Chain A
Amino acid sequence: MPELEQIRKRMAVDPSLEERLKEDFQGTIKEVGIKVDSAFIDRVMERLNSKVRADLREIVKKRPEAKNWYLKRVLEGKPLKIHVHINKETGKCEKSLGGGG
């Protein structure tokens, strides 16, 4: 987002800008020329989602397979294959990972 890059550059030369943001975030971003409207919020959320997606890929690499199997399949763009056994004594569904593919 170019407007955020612009602020970062200004913060590099003016350290008080970060302090002003901490004290009054909304007032300061308005002061530096950012217009907070729905289009801006959408762009911020999209940027956040991109960050989340990138982070998730990194995290999944480090986590045990069994724990993140659903997530791994989602990140690979594959459907979740789940085997469900209905335990008649407890009435509960016992789920296990189904076949790949």
Chain B
Amino acid sequence: MQTGGYDVVLEVREELLNKFMKIGHCIGAFPVLKGTYALPIPNVPESLKEFTVIGYEVSLPKPPTIEATADLHLRMNVRGQAKFTVLGGIKFEIEVEFTVGVAPSFDQATRRLKIDLLTTSIDDVELNDTYHLPTNVIARLNEILTIAMHEYLTEDLTTLELSPVLFATELPNMPPGEENKLTIGLGNFRVLNPSTLCVAVNLLGYNGGDINSVLDFTDGSHIGIGVNEGAMHKVYDFWWDRTTHPKSITKTGSHDFDMPSIVDWLDELADWVVAACTLGLVSTEIDIKRVWAEFGATIRFSKFDFDLKPGNVVEIAGSVSIDAWMRALVTIQTTTSLFWGIWDVDTETYTGEIFSLSVNNLVINIDSASAKVYLDDKNQLAVDILDLDISIPLDWEIPEFLLNYFVNWLIDRIVENLPPIVLFPAVIEESLPGTTVKVKAAFTKLFIDEPEALVAANIETSGIGAYAPYIANKSPEHMEVHKKDCEWAHRIAIRNRVYFCDLEEALTAGFDGCRYCIPEHHHR
């Protein structure tokens, strides 16, 4: 078992985390702290007060990066920028790049998340984009930082008790209300190897699992999602008990039978009509002009049982209960007045019911059904039924054309209205929350390793262009990059546009800076 006994394990490759860090940076997801701070100096005259105010703006000039290390810890590299305005208008800027090595751990029993700081180092300090502190000064700063970390980062600051419910997610066709959301709690997490991190979660208060038993099943893809069969049952049971999806439907229909298709039965039908109309006392000739049926059924679905099988197959069994009815009608033409009370008459045309049948609470067993596990268009782990073996204990003794038509109609109605079997809600959002950036999972693996389903996928994003601060022209005669608001950027043909979140990336890709908006990088 590769999911270590947890309900769900999500594995993420380091490169994807960094890709999302870049996207987050590009769309402005990292906050910019801005403000002013007034030095607490008493009795400063009003005319000098502006000299006691420090304006600041703290931001990340480039996206942070995360690296899983060979000793299975995490290293995060961050470059922060602080711009200060002091003494009433003097501006200066400091950029500090530092690296933090952390060993996060989570105690499942106490639900305490602990982040041990292993290393911290200042790598660079730059003043006003020009002056870099000498390495010996940075070394001293790092010594001070180490002492400070040791002194001040006490356990109460590095440890946090997590709620058993990390978040609650919605399942399809559920009524509103928090009680109808699926609660998900952190099981544990671990750096699996120097390129993959895993997060294990449990559902509805379950607290089992062993993080050291989780294996890497990403197979080189960006993400891996492993869902335990027990979790699928929990999700399905939870959903079935609460869903607003109809568990009972009523359908009706009618069908005119094409005369040539029922030619084998016309003599018998005529015989039965005459027998009904004349009480068998008179022999007469009739012409059958029309044969049709009106029918309906109320279908009540029960919760299905399912079992994961190798080969991405799910075996399903269950039953539906039906109330069904059918009337078969015949229109005849005759020159004899045969009407005696049970048929409508319209001069020489007679219409009457030749069969009328009904059944209540008939249980139709789905003895077995095989289905494929798949990820639907909402990235939900769902079941696609392919084959069913149905057992219908119907005892309607009617001509085969009527029986066949009705049974086939009923099966079609049952199959097309089968409630969906969602094994797990979407773990990949269709778009980044609060943005128009679309996220698409291209699945590379869906594998059932009983009793769990393992999915691997590469994640693609689109729509970043709306947020990218740089637009390049990839036309061979131009190969120039512009700031988003440069008037030349708007003149680039859409087919030639390439969006960049980072100027350096564009320059590395061979684009020259625009003469007007990025003159410092204009070289042609």
- Chain A residues in contact with chain B, CB under 8 A? 4, 7-8, 11, 18, 21-26, 29, 36, 41, 44-45, 48-49, 51-53, 55-56, 59-60, 63, 67-68, 70-71, 74-75, 77, 79-86, 88, 93, 95, 98-99
Contact = CB atoms under 8 A, between A and B. Distances in A.
Nearest to B363: A79
Contacts of B396: 74
Interface stretch (B185-193, B288-296, B338-346): B338-346
B17 to A, nearest CB: 36
B129 interface: no
Interface string B396-411: 1111100110011001
Contacts of A82: 389-392, 407, 411
A81 B264 contact: no
A49 to B, nearest CB: 8
B38 interface: no
Contacts of B411: 82, 84, 93, 95
Contacts of A22: 282, 284, 336-337
6 contacts: A4-B279, A52-B398, A70-B407, A75-B397, A83-B388, A98-B391
B386 A85 contact: yes
A63 B265 CA distance: 11
Interface residues of B, number: 45
A98 B390 contact: yes
A80 B391 contact: yes
B390 A4 contact: no
Contacts of B391: 79-82, 98
A96 B367 CA distance: 15
A36 B340 contact: yes
B311 interface: no
A44 B279 contact: yes
A95 B400 CA distance: 15
Looking at chain B's contact residues, the main secondary structure is mixed
Contact of B275 (A21, A51, A59, A99): A51
A21 B27 CA distance: 92
Contacts of A75: 397
Contacts of B183: none
A67 B397 contact: no
Contact of B408 (A45, A63, A86, A95): A95
B389 A83 contact: yes
A34 to B, nearest CB: 8
A95 B405 CA distance: 12
A75 B384 CA distance: 35
A48 to B, nearest CB: 5
Contacts of A44: 276, 279, 342
Contacts of A84: 387-390, 411, 415
Nearest to A99: B389
A57 to B, nearest CB: 9
B263 to A, nearest CB: 13
B31 interface: no
B412 interface: yes
Contacts of B392: 79-80, 82
Contact of B338 (A25, A68, A81, A99): A25
A69 to B, nearest CB: 8
B330 to A, nearest CB: 13
Nearest to B402: A71
A76 B37 CA distance: 93
Contacts of B385: 86
A72 B464 CA distance: 64
Nearest to B390: A82
Contacts of A25: 278, 282, 337-340
B260 to A, nearest CB: 15
A71 B341 contact: no
Contacts of A7: 281
Contact of A70 (B272, B337, B367, B403): B403
Nearest to B396: A74
A36 to B, nearest CB: 5
Contacts of B434: none
Nearest to A52: B272
A29 B279 CA distance: 10
A92 B268 CA distance: 32
B395 A63 contact: no
A53 B341 CA distance: 23
B267 to A, nearest CB: 10
